[in-house]
């Protein structure tokens, strides 16, 4: 890869990504506009946008492609949150009333669909010869996360291996997508599977850690939770969950270091949040 032939990325900020997302949302439908802005302004760590920014900068992508990838990935993630809250019946998100609870189920369904459509509009704006591959790959990862969500809702896991598969399918695709799209845009498609392996490991670490705080709720409702799959008293189960998360985080770091031009540094920063005593930030 000859970096001298690639337009260096300008200093793209998260504010640029926020503006791009807002510009893709409806301006005429008052209800949908209000619901969309309400959700996007409710907070969140913008982890996927940050992953896209870091990998795009490392690979020296153009400003326009960087914003396109970042906005597309964040829109897809937020669409999944709106739909997930409705399917799970969760009444709050990021300390605020969930979209479906505030605006109604029909609005939540339509808003999630709109954000998915907007994500494809965002990625379509990327001026690159690799655009067809970007669109196809994004569709594949959206398909993967839908399969993961369905597996989670219908899951009857009885083993750690089954649990890992569901966690990987549900959370891995949209964590990996920012780096995967950056690699494709940089002409490094052969590195995508490595990025996927790293994000899969982070997804398992994240989901396992998240299960610690959700254990009581999930177990009482019959939901999927790592804690329910291991033996011992609660302290022993929590320790097993933390060690499980840590082992996958370490695996993710090892894999991410092999990605070219330090394009996996965002993965490394994310994975380093996991240790035997740490809990994952809710924003992720």
Residue 281 counted as domain residue: no
Residue pair 199/179 in contact by the 8 Å Cβ criterion: yes
Amino acid 283: pLDDT: 42
Vertex 279 angle, CA 40 and 161, to 5°: 100
Is pLDDT at 171 greater than 50 in this prediction? yes
Residue 197 counted as domain residue: yes
pLDDT digits (tens, 9 = 90+) for 121-137: 999 999 999 999 999 99
The whole-angstrom separation of Cα 100 and Cα 108 is: 5
pLDDT digits (tens, 9 = 90+) for 235-263: 898 889 999 999 999 999 999 999 999 99
Residue 283 counted as domain residue: no
Vertex 71 angle, CA 110 and 65, to 5°: 140
Is pLDDT at 140 greater than 70 in this prediction? yes
Domain of 243, in residue numbers: 3-271
The whole-angstrom separation of Cα 274 and Cα 203 is: 11
pTM of the model: 0.90
Residue 276 counted as domain residue: no
Residue 93 sits at φ, ψ, to 5 deg, of: -150, 125
List Cα–Cα distances, 231 to 56, 219, 240, in angstroms: 43, 14, 9
Model confidence band, residue 2 (pLDDT cutoffs 50, 70, 90): very low
Going by C-alpha positions, the residue among 100, 101, 95 that lies closest to residue 83 is 100
The whole-angstrom separation of Cα 219 and Cα 57 is: 42
Query: Helices 63-88 and 131-154 meet at what angle, rounded to 10?
Result: 20
Number of domains, the chain: 1
What is the CATH number for 159? 1.10.600.10
Residue 255 counted as domain residue: yes
Residue 126 counted as domain residue: yes
């Amino acid at each position: 890869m000859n970096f001298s032939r690639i337009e260096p990325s300008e200093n793209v900020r998260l504010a640029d990504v926020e503006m791009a997302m807002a510009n893709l949302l409806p301006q005429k439908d008052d209800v949908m506009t209000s619901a969309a802005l309400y959700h996007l302004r409710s907070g969140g760590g913008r982890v996927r946008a940050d992953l896209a920014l870091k990998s795009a900068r490392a690979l020296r992508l153009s400003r326009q492609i960087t914003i396109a990838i970042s906005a597309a990935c964040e829109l897809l993630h937020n669409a999944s949150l709106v739909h997930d809250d409705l399917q799970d019946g969760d009444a709050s998100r990021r300390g605020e009333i969930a979209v479906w609870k505030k605006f109604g189920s029909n609005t939540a369904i339509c808003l999630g669909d709109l954000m998915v459509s907007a994500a494809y509009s965002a990625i379509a704006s990327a001026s690159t010869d690799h655009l067809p591959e970007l669109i196809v790959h994004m569709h594949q990862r959206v398909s993967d996360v839908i399969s993961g969500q369905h597996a989670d809702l219908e899951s009857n896991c009885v083993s750690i291996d089954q649990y890992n598969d569901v966690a990987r399918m549900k959370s891995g695709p949209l964590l990996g997508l920012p780096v995967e799209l950056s690699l494709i845009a940089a002409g490094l498609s052969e590195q995508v599977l490595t990025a996927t392996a790293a994000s899969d490991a982070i997804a398992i670490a994240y989901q396992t850690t998240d299960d610690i705080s959700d254990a009581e709720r999930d177990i009482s409702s019959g939901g999927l939770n790592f804690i329910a799959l291991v033996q011992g008293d609660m302290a022993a189960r929590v320790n097993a969950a933390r060690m499980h998360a840590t082992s996958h985080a370490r695996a993710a770091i090892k894999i991410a270091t092999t990605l070219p031009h330090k394009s996996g540094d965002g993965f490394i920063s994310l994975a380093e949040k996991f240790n035997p005593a740490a809990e994952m930030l809710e924003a992720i």
